Each structure stands twice: as C-alpha cells, then as structure tokens.
Amino acid sequence: EDAYSQDVILCCKYGREDACSQDVILCCKYGREDAYSQDVILCCKYGREDAYSQDVILCCKYGREDAYSQDVILYCKYGREDAYSQDVILCCKYGREDAYSQDVILCCKYGREDAYSQDVILCCKYGREDAYSQDVILCCKYGREDAYSQDVILCCKYGREDAYSQDVILCCKYCREDAYSQDVILCCQYGREDAYSQDVILYCKYGREDACSQDVILCCKYGREDACSQDVILCCKYGREDACSQDVILCCKYVREDAYSQDVILCCKYGREDAYSQDVILCCKYGREDAYSQDVILCCKYGREDAYSQDVILCCKYGREDACSQDVILCCKYGREDAYSQDVILCCKYGREDAYSQDVILCCKYGREDAYSQDVILCCKYGREDAYSQDVILCCKYGREDAYSQDVILCCKYGREDAYSQDVILCCKYGREDAYSQDVILCCKYGREDACSQDVILCCKYGREDACSQDVILCCKYGREDAYSQDVILCCKYGREDAYSQDVILCCKYSREDACSQDVILCCKYGREDAYSQDVILCCKYGREDAYSQDVILCCKYGREDAYSQDVILCCKYGREDAYSQDVILCCKYGREDAYSQDVILCCKYGREDAYSQDVILCCKYGREDAYSQDVILCCQYGREDAYSQDVILCCKYVREDAYSQDVILCCKYGREDAYSQDVILCCKYGREDAYSQDVILCCKYGREDAYSQDVILCCKYFREDAYSQDVILCCKYCREDAYSQDVILCCKYGREDAYSQDVILCCKYGREDAYSQDVILCCQYCREDAYSQDVILCCKYGREDAYSQD
C-alpha cells in the first residue's frame, strides 16, 4: 500500500510481490524483472544496471562493484575473486586463467602473454622482462638470474650452465664453446680469443699471458716455460731449443742465430755482439777478448796473434801483413800507411817522418836527404832532379813546372810568378810586361794585340772575343756582359741599356722598342707579342697571363681584374660588367644572361638555375628558395608568399587561392578540396574532417560542432538546430521530427517512441512513463494523472472518469 515510488510500482508491474529490500526495488528501477538470484540483486545494489552476462554477475558475487573494464570481467569469468592487482587483471586480459603463482603474474606485469613454459616463467621470477631470445630463456632454465651481459647469454646458448667465473664467460665472449680444459679457460683469462693451436694453449698452461708473439709461443712449444727474458724468447725465435748455457742465450741476445761453433759462442761470452766477420771470430779463438779496434781484428786476420805493440798493430791498421823489417815498422810508427815503395821506406830510413808528399818522397828517390827548403822540394815535385841553378829554382818557386820554353823563362825574368796561363805567356810574347789586369790578359787570350780602347777591353772583360760589331761593343759600353742572345744585342741597338729583366729582353725579341710602361713589359713577360690593344695591355696589368679568349679580354676592358672563375668570365661574355655580387655571378654560371631583375638574381642566389617561369621568379621574390614542388610554385602564382605550412601549400594544390582564413586552411589539411560553402568551412573550423554528408554539413551550419552521434546528425537532418537536450536527441533517434511540445519530448525521455496519440502524450505530460496498458492510457484521457492503484485504473477501464471518491 506504500507503493508511491515509481520503482516499487514497477516491481508490482513485474509481478514482484517480494519487493521489500531496496536492492530488489533498485533492480526493478533498472528494468530487471528477472532479479531473483542474490548475485543479480547484488549487481543492482552496486548500481550495475548492465549486469546481464554471467561474468558481470559473477563479479557482483565476488563483491567487485568496480568491475567495469573487460579485463576485470574476464578475471571474474576465470573465477579469480582475488584479482585486485593490475598484474592479475592483465593476466586475465591475456587469457591466463591459471595465473596463480607470483612468477606468472610477474610475466603478465612484464607484458609476457606467452609465458607458458617454465623457463619463461622463471625469467619473470628473475625479473627478466626482456627474456625473448631463446638464449636468455635458456639462462633462466639454468638458474642464471644474472644473465644480463651478452657473454653470459652466449654461454647459455653454448649450454654452459656452469659459466660463473669471468674466464669461462670470457671464453663464451670469444665464441669458445669448447672451453672445458683449464688451459683453454686460462687463455680466455689472458684475453687470447685465438687460442686454438696446442702451442698457444700450452703457453697459457705455463701462465704466459704475455705470449702474443710467435716466438714466445714457440718457446712454449719447446717446453721452455721459463722463457721470460727477451734473450731466451729470441733463442726460441731462432729455433734454438738447446739454449741452456748463458753464452748461447747471450748469442741470441746479440741476434746471433748462427751461434753453433765454439768460437762464436766464445765471442758471445766475451760480449762481442758484433762478431760477424771471420776475423773477429778468429780473435776470439786467439783469446783476444779486447779485439774491438779494427786494427787488432786485422792483426787476427793476418794471423798475428802476438800483435800487442802499437807499431805492429798500426801496421795491421795500414794493412801491412808484411811488417817484418824494422824500416817498415818505423814507417808504421811514422804513420806511413802507404809505405810500400822502396822510396818511402828509404825516407823512413833517412828519418823523414814528414815524408808525406810525393815531392819529398821524390827527393828521397833522387837521394836528396837534405831536401828541406820548399823550393828544392818543389823542384822534386816537378821532376827536376837537375834543380841546382837559381833560375830553375826560381821557376820552381813560382810553381812553374813547365819552365822549359823561353817565353816562360822570360815571364820569370819579368817577375811574373802568375804566368801560368797561356794568355799571360802570350802577353809576355807580345811584350806586354804590364799585363796585370785580367781584361788585358783576356785580350791577349783572344789574340787582340790592338786592345787599346776601353770598350774593347771591357768586351774582353766580359769574355766577348767576338766583339766586332758596333752593337756588341755598344752592349759592352752599357756594361752588358751577358749580351750573348740576339735579343739583348737588339735591346742595345734600341738603346735600351736597362734591359736586364727577361721581360724587357723579351720585348726586344718581339721588336717592341716602345716597351716602356710596366704593363707592356708584363705582356712581354706573359709572352704576349700581340699586346697592342689597350684591353690586352690592361689584362697584363691585372696579371692575366691567360687572357687569350675574347671573354677574358672583355673582363679586362670592364676593369674586372678578379675574373678568374669561369662564371665571372661568362658574365663578361654576356656583357655583364656589373657582375660583382656572387648572385649575379651565379646567374652567369647558370647561363642566365638575362638576369637583370632582382628577382631573377635572387633565384640564382637560391640556386634556382631553372627559374624561367614568372611563377618561379615570383617565388624567389617572396624569398621562397624551397619552391620546387608545383604546389609551392602555384602558391607563388596566387601571390601567397606566406605559403610555408603544408596545409597552405595543399590549398594551393587544390587551386584555393583564397585560402587565407585558418578554417579554409584547415579544410585543406583535411583534404577537403571542395570546401567552398561557409558550412563546409565551418565544419573544418569545428575539426570535422568527416563532414561529407549534407546532414553533418547542416549540423555545422547550426553551430553543432559536437554532432558526432547519428541521432544528433538526424536532428540536423530534421532541421532541429536546438537539439541539445538528450530528450530532443532521443526524439530524433525515434524519427520524431515533430517533437516540439514538451510532452512529446517527455515521451522521448521515457523511451516512448510510439507516442503519437494525444492520450499517450498526455500520459507523458503526467509523468506516466509506464503508460503501456489501454486502461492507464484511458486514465490519462480522463485527466487522471494519479492513476497508480489498480483500482483507479480499473475505474478507468470501466469508463468511470469521475472516480474520485473512495467509494
């Protein structure tokens, strides 16, 4: 009787006479007329009006009122009432209904939905979320939770579950999967990844971590584990496996790989590392450990084991193996290593220790033991054994060994000690006792007995024996001693006494007597004999020796001294005398002879050699150096200098030259090339890139930027621009385009899509959303908005619209 709330009434409607608890009443409110089980009722309690699937109901059973996500519902399905952590929920998402152990749950946490094998689960246990490769999984199988480095993982790959020591791990790094013996492992420890041969493994066994060279490895092969000194290692290098005595080792130290004979070994003992020659070895044999000087070694070579006195050693030094007589030994004492001839030995006998020169020796030969004056010695030198007269001795004094002819003797008589050359002798013959200057002597040499004028003498001084022509004599007068070439002589003929530089001489060669200015001379230097025009001369002035082409000459004419690059020269060819800026020069490089406007020059600056169309030039004017695509060029054509964003460029592509507003640009971004009407543009503004149907466009026109659901779009189709409330939208959903009165809207709110008769609409007005039976509708028709009890409804059924009194 207390049934005043709509929910209780609904329970009555559903035939629920047991609707006492609030939860059951709530179920009725949610339209759950089947809510008999405690679980469904619990769902209602939790506010779950959508609890139709068994899984959701199960969640309610587990007391999970928060079970909205599919993952939580899934774990309910799997009977997981304990699924509160995100990891367990994740397991359910992955379909892991068996996820009870912490390791499996951990796998889920790591996103491992494939964690079915015990090894992968083990990896999760070890916190290895990256365990995807088989090798890492294998490590987990081996209980290696520390398998982070690639080397340990490699060990696992090789099946090495015992790879705990760094050395074994190192072996794995070196791809040594066979590293079981301690020696191999030791090799790895020493960083020997190449330890495959038995010898290398052997040296590892001997603890030789430094065994990188082949020689140390060889020592190991020979079983020499003590091969620590470089000498022993060297012995090994030489293949000396017998290197036990210190002497042999010493030989190795001395790089003597051939030290097999006792004498050589003896040399090593004496510290003779240089004992290569047989002579030194012989000295060692003679017990001469002091045989360091070449002389003693030589004595050994000569078989002189007794060579202890310095004189004898000296003889050996001089190569005198025959040093037996006292005179020879005396010669050695005097330092005479050349004392082979009897004359020298005689000098030694005469006590002449100074007898070094052939002249003194000659004197000895001539029996002149008294030959101490230099003049006499000189005579001996000249072979003058007859040099007893003062005249001959004087000639000797003057160094005249040839003083046999009367002319020479005459020169001596004149006191001419310098009369060695034939020229002086000739002067003497000509009676020129005053012929002291070289120039006069030279004239004599040239047979010029007439050498009186200074110019001729000068010519002689310059060595000009051919100075017969006036031009040559003139050159001499100008002090030109180098006037041998016809060009220089020509310069003299032209009166050019200053013609010293090759360039001026060259000008003379080119018959340029007018070569006064430096520019013309420069032209001559550059070999330009044709340099008559001012432009060519200008080129020379600018240092352009390569100015042969008309273009370069033109550059000179324009005053372009810097025209070295082909581009500048090209500018000159195009008649561009103003081509100073790099951009203009670049234009020339691109073959643009028409590059006069700043825009074209700008194109060149941007490297646009293809800038022939007005649009591209316009792009350059706008500073668009990136204008390569047709769309950007099109933007320039439309005068869009601001076309930097892809959207604006896209507008240009769509031939939208009017794309200035952000909305139009947005349309272009959405690929709407047809966006001409304001409504479509509005859609773009609202971010509606999908606005293709007229209804959606209409929504945009109405300012409905939120028109995403079909119902709202439908409202727009029905021209309902005011469709903001859910009820009106619902009406649209029910195809009620006439839903303008509040009552009809109310019907929609109540889910009455069939509300066409005025009575039903009236029921809605009265708030009767349950007005489905004809009796209730009749009550509404009778304006009985209070028709909730079955009795009143019965009155309506009987047509009693006046049933107000209880009776």
Which DSSP string corresponds to 367-422?
T-TT--SHHHHHHHHTT-TTTTSHHHHHHHHTT-TTTTSHHHHHHHHTT-TTTTSH
CA–CA distances in Å: residue 115 to residues 84, 106, 132:
21, 10, 10
Collapsed DSSP state (helix, strand, coil) of residue 295: helix
DSSP-based helix, strand, coil % in the chain, nearest 5:
50, 0, 50
Question: What's the rounded Cα separation, in Å, for the pair 415 and 401?
Answer: 16
Q: What is the 3-state secondary structure (H, E, C) of 66-116?
A: CCCCHHHHHHHHCCCCCCCCHHHHHHHHCCCCCCCCHHHHHHHHCCCCCCC
DSSP three-state, residue 212: coil
Distance CA 527, CA 502 (A): 11
What is the crossing angle of helices 486-493 and 470-477, to 10°?
80
H/E segment holding residue 502: helix 502-509
Low-confidence ranges of the chain (pLDDT < 50): none
- E strands, 668-805, are none
What pLDDT is recorded for position 398?
Answer: 75
DSSP 351: T
HSE-up (13 A, CA, CB side) for residue 465:
9
Query: What sign for the dihedral angle of Cα 83, 88, 92, 93?
Result: positive
Amino acid making up residue 102: Q
Please state, in angstroms and as integers, the Cα–Cα distance from residue 121 to each residue in 155, 162, 550, 775, following that order: 20, 21, 87, 68
Q: How many C-beta atoms surround the C-beta of residue 339 within 10 A?
A: 26
- Which residue in 747, 743, 748 sits closest to 733, CA to CA? 748
Place of tokens 């349309």: 667
- Classify the C-alpha dihedral 212-215-216-218 as positive or negative: positive
Give the phi and the psi of residue 232 in degrees, each rounded to 5: -65, -45
**pLDDT of the residue at 796:** 73
**CB of 712 closer than 8 Å to CB of 699:** yes
- pTM (two decimals): 0.31
Question: Looking at the chain, how many residues does it have?
Answer: 807
The pLDDT assigned to 132 comes to 64
Gap between the Cα atoms of 273 and 256, Å rounded: 8
- Neighbouring residues of 553: CB distance < 8 A, sequence distance ≥ 6: 533, 535, 536, 539, 547
pLDDT of 57-109, one tens digit each? 777 777 666 666 666 666 676 665 565 566 666 666 666 666 666 776 666 77
For residue 451, give the amino acid letter: A
What's the number of CA atoms in the CB half-sphere (13 Å) around residue 770?
Answer: 19
Longest dimension (CA), the chain: 197
Annotated domain spans of the chain: 357-404, 742-807
Contact 288, 296 (CB under 8 A): yes
Residue 92 has a pLDDT of 67
